[in-house]
Structure formats: C-alpha cells, structure tokens
Amino acid sequence: MTDETGTRDVLTIIEVLLTAEIFNRNEELGINDLNPRCREFFGAGSSGSAEVKRPLIVSEGAIKRAFGSPDTVCQTVRQNPFVGYDEFGQRLSLPSLDAAAGWFLKKGGAERIRENPVLAYYYEGKDGIDVRYRDVLAKNPRFEDTKDYIEGKVSRIIGESEEMREARDLIIISAPDEVEFSLDRLVCTPRQEEIIRKIAVALENREFLKERGIYEFGRLLFVGPPGTGKTSLALAMSRELHMPILEVRLAMVTSQYLGETSKNIDRIFDLAKKLAPCILFIDEFDFVAKTRVSDDHGAMKRAVNMLLKNIDQISFIKNGVLLIGATNHPRILDEAAWRRFDEVVEFPLPDQAMRQAILKKIAATVECDCNFADLAARTEGFSGSDLRIMMKEAVMSALMEGRHRVDPVDIEQGLLRVEERNVIRGTGY
C-alpha cells in the first residue's frame, strides 16, 4: 500500500467518524445531509424510510466491509490522540471533535468538506476554509430521488391494497436518479424550455395556487413525429423536478379481459395520486382516438371514457400529479381528447441550427473529426433520434477499424445506415 493510498484511506475513515459525531450532536440534520457514501455506510434509507436512527455508530468491521481497509489503516486511525476506541465493541469515536476537525482540514480534507453537507454544517464560518452549508446541501443528491426511497414508498402503498399491486404491474416506475436523460443533454425549443420553467414555478408555489383555487394546470400534451424527444424530455423533467415518473402505454393497459380495463385505468391514476408528487407519462395517446373511432366493443368505449374522466379529475395543484400525454398523430385526436389538456407542446423535426446543436451534444464525449455545420446541412429531415443513431453507427465504424477517433469516413457510414433504416421503414410489405 502506497503512502498516498494509506493517507486517502485514513482520511475516508476520519470523514465517516466526523460525519457520525457531528450528525449525532445536531438533531436538525437529516438524511439529505448525509452524502450518498455516508448513507450507504450507515445504512440510512436502506429500508426506504427517510428516518435516520441515532446514534450513528462506526465499527472496525463496518469500515472493513465498506472500504476494504486493511488492519494497518484501522491501527493508524486508532493511534491518533483524538480518536477513541472501545475494545469490547471494536467501535471508533471522536471524543475531541475540534481536534479531529482541525487535523482533517490540515491533512487535505477541504474537497471532502465541500461534498459533505454534515461537514459543511460544522465547518461553515471556521478559519481555513470558505464553505457554505446551504450550497453544499443544494448539490447533494436527495434521498427522495433515489430508487430505495421510491421502491420503499411503492411497497408501502401496494402492501395495503391488492388493487394497487395490480396497477403496479401495468406501469414502469423510475426514480429521478435512475433516469439517464438530463436537460443539459437535450436541445429544447424555446417553447419546451418555457413549459419546464412554468412547471418548476408551479411546483414551488403549489400551496399559493391551491389557496387561490387555481387548479387547471399541469396536463400537458406532447405532439410531434417519432424520435423528436417527447419521451426524453418527460424523463429529463423527472430529474429536473425531482419527481418519479410513471410510464404508461395504453395498449398495454388493455386487459385480455376487457371488463378489467376501466378498473386498470382507475387504479393507475389512484397509484399516481398516492405516489405524488410525480409525473404520469402516457405514451401513444392516439390509442384513445383510434379506439373511439374504430372499436365497437362497449367495454373498450367505457375504458376510454374512464380515461378521459380520470384526466378531467387529475390536477397538478390539487393532487401533485403532472400528467403528460404523448402522440405522434395529433390529427386523429378528437376534440374530447384535445380539450382535456391545459398545454399542447410541439416537438417539430429539428431545423438546421438545432441539428447542429444536437450533433455537438451527442459528440461531446467522442473524439470526432467532422464539420458539424456541414453535417447539419446534410441531414435535413432527420429527427434527434436519427442523429443519435448516425453518431452511434459512426462510433461503431471507428471501433470496428480499431480506432477511437471518429473520422469523416465513419460519419458517412452512419449516414448510410440511417438512410437504409428510413428506406426500410417506408417499404410496404
């Protein structure tokens, strides 16, 4: 073990000890003050509950399990005069908090303090470091955004009701920190950016709007051709707004026992209300219109009417459920469907400037030798999805040749693959 590695391991253990000591002394600190590494070490939130049991305890066994630290590192930590050690329980503590905190800062702990709200809470205003607790807390991943929290909440909901268990099987639930899409990876139109800001303001001022009876808000219809980012933006909003997203495809909700379909729709909306605040994302919303126009089955008609009724009754302000419907075929939606939505947001095929911006975002992590302006001009009619496929194929072309750098010849291969896909898509069999 190198001295550098040993020092890093000792700093890690002292950070955990400082976190435990400061947290135990300050009842106002909670689970969101623990950074993800400390949450994992102390098992905070592992049951899906945001409650943290005090006191937090640091044992040698837990240190070895969490960090794989050898005995020599633990011995080094114990030799510090400010570290207490209980032989019987093999537990470490910091009887002299101020001395430990001073040592930690002197030994290079400043960056760790800026990533740990508990430490920032203690060190703010002290000499030797400029740190603001509120800033560190704002950057710390929230426990309510984690899969553990959302799964725990869902488990409690479905554990109380067979109907909620059935609803859970019909949807895909993602916690905000599970979502791979983020707004900084997308290129949005001004209208799309405006709607995100509006929802964020409404979320922050829900009580204000509720007190004034302003409820007709938060039912969005995303409209545009396939591949233009409707689903991607809905997912990115989950991350941005710190709300889990429930994805529903109406065709999947249709039970083979048609009489159950209306009940399934009711259950999904009830589950969303219990899980609120959340996003309920209904893809392929044109399924409603197709059914109303073409299906003569009475049960299906009742199911569609039940869907529309539930949409009428949902409110972001009242229930905390942001409803987003998405369709590739707005022309076949009738007035009954259209008027259910407060806002219609268009997702057009990107123009040349947007295509250039999208290409730059896609290629940001790739070593690429290409003229983005020229490429944007050559990809008229491409969706954002087409552009991503093109760049993915270009990267694979380079890798097939044993290169990590994407050259113009690879871009040509990517263009060819997208054009082939589009020809096949337009072929009638």
Name the one residue in this structure whose structure tokens are 């009638």: 428
Query: Do 398 and 404 touch, CB atoms closer than 8 A?
Result: yes
Query: Do 199 and 218 touch, CB atoms closer than 8 A?
Result: yes
Query: Measured at the alpha carbon of residue 84, what is the angle toward residues 80 and 85, in degrees to the nearest 5?
Result: 110
Residue 293: per-residue pLDDT: 54
pTM for the whole thing? 0.85
Assign 3-class secondary structure to the chain: CCHHHHHHHHHHHHHHHHHHHHHHHCCCCCHHHCCHHHHHHHCCCCCCCCCCCCCCCEEHHHHHHHHCCCHHHHHHHHCCCCCEEECCCCEEECCCHHHHHHHHHHCCCHHHHCCCHHHHHHHCCCCCCCCCHHHHHHHCCCHHHCHHHHHHHHHHHHHCCHHHHHHHCCCEEECHHHCCCCHHHCCCCHHHHHHHHHHHHHHHCHHHHHHCCCCCCCEEEEECCCCCCHHHHHHHHHHHHCCCEEEEEHHHHCCCCHHHHHHHHHHHHHHHHHHCCEEEEEECCHHHHHHHHHCCCHHHHHHHHHHHHHHHHCCHHHHCEEEEEEECCHHHCCHHHHCCCCEEEECCCCCHHHHHHHHHHHHHHCCECCCHHHHHHHCCCCCHHHHHHHHHHHHHHHHHCCCCCECHHHHHHHHHHHHHHHHHHCCCC
In order of start, what are the domains of the chain with their CATH numbers? 3-141 (no CATH), 145-346 (3.40.50.300), 352-425 (1.10.8.60)
Q: Is 317 exposed, middle or buried, given 0-12, 13-18 or 19+ CB atoms closer than 10 A?
A: buried
> What is the total residue count of the chain?
429
Query: Do 397 and 413 touch, CB atoms closer than 8 A?
Result: yes
Q: Which of 301, 188, 213, 203 is nearest to 243 (CA)?
A: 203
Name the one residue in this structure whose structure tokens are 């740190």: 131
Cα(355)–Cα(377) distance, integer angstroms: 8
Query: Do 303 and 254 touch, CB atoms closer than 8 A?
Result: yes
Cα(193)–Cα(209) distance, integer angstroms: 21
Six token digits for residue 364:
């940001």
Please report, in angstroms and rounded to a whole number, the separation of the first and last CA atoms in the chain. 66
Q: pLDDT truncated to tens, each residue of the chain (429 aa)?
A: 445 555 788 899 999 999 999 999 999 999 999 999 999 999 998 888 889 999 999 998 888 888 876 777 888 888 889 999 888 888 999 999 999 999 999 999 999 999 999 999 999 999 999 999 999 999 999 999 999 999 999 999 998 788 888 888 889 999 999 999 899 999 999 999 999 999 999 999 999 999 999 888 899 999 999 999 999 999 999 999 999 999 997 777 766 555 677 788 889 999 999 999 999 999 988 776 555 555 556 666 777 788 889 999 999 999 999 999 999 888 877 777 888 899 999 999 999 999 999 999 999 889 988 889 999 999 999 999 999 999 999 999 999 999 999 999 999 999 999 988 888 877 755
Taking residue 132's Cβ as centre, other Cβ atoms within 10 Å add up to 12
Query: Do 393 and 417 touch, CB atoms closer than 8 A?
Result: yes
